[in-house]
Chains A and B, each alone.
Chain A
Amino acid sequence: AQSVAQPEDQVNVAEGNPLTVKCTYSVSGNPYLFWYVQYPNRGLQFLLKYITGDNLVKGSYGFEAEFNKSQTSFHLKKPSALVSDSALYFCAVRDPASGGSYIPTFGRGTSLIVHP
């Protein structure tokens, strides 16, 4: 079974400050992990993924995420937040050991609000 948790419904940060959006997961084997962003009245957009290799993954718009196997976490980070980063962020996990299933499990989403 696979599951993912985003413990914060909302994150508030001032423009120019670093931001972190948290994600923890549970799978039986090695996970495939994804972050998506959703702007108002749009679908989800892919930001970055971890499949294997380097634990620090860089993605679109200056975002990065660090895979931590011991803490089963995949937190999304950005060194300096922009007001335009305000959006909904979703973490997703897929357990490749789940056989033929290609269905990721999504977290409940975190609303990021960046204040000017």
Chain B
Amino acid sequence: EADIYQTPRYLVIGTGKKITLECSQTMGHDKMYWYQQDPGMELHLIHYSYGVNSTEKGDLSSESTVSRIRTEHFPLTLESARPSHTSQYLCASKTGSRSPLHFGNGTRLTVT
């Protein structure tokens, strides 16, 4: 099973709250990714990192931010949550060019 962990698994919060979704991997992978998965299943890349101190925005405009201070840790922060942020958030990592992504089990976020 995947050695990539996301916490919390489920989160219900009120509008305007600041939250951080945690993602950690123990595989030493340099590349890490955050995806938002809507109810229609499609995956949208919101942030990625190629290594420590490297972060980039993905295809989907997002009001979230990320940091990569340590190789194993790639947290995602929402400064002020809104109902439109209600979604499933998936973290993934990989190593070499030909390697597949390893996914965590996701955080299902509901903003009321």
Contact = CB atoms under 8 A, between A and B. Distances in A.
Contact of A103 (B4, B45, B103): B45
Contacts of B45: 103
Given A32-B97, A43-B2, 13 more contacts: A32-B98, A41-B105, A43-B4, A43-B6, A43-B91, A43-B104, A44-B92, A44-B101, A45-B103, A96-B97, A102-B31, A106-B42, A108-B41
Contacts of A45: 2, 103
A111 B90 contact: no
Interface of A: 32, 34, 36, 41-46, 49, 51, 88, 90, 92, 96, 100, 102-104, 106, 108-109, 111
A101 to B, nearest CB: 10
A102 B94 contact: yes
A116 B100 CA distance: 32
Nearest to A43: B103
Given A102-B31, A111-B41, A46 B101 contact: yes
A92 to B, nearest CB: 8
Interface string B36-77: 000011110100101000000010000000000000000000
B106 A34 contact: no
Contacts of A36: 100-101, 103
B102 interface: yes
A111 B105 CA distance: 18
A9 to B, nearest CB: 8
B3 to A, nearest CB: 12
A34 B45 CA distance: 17
Interface string B70-112: 0000000000000000000011101001101111111010000
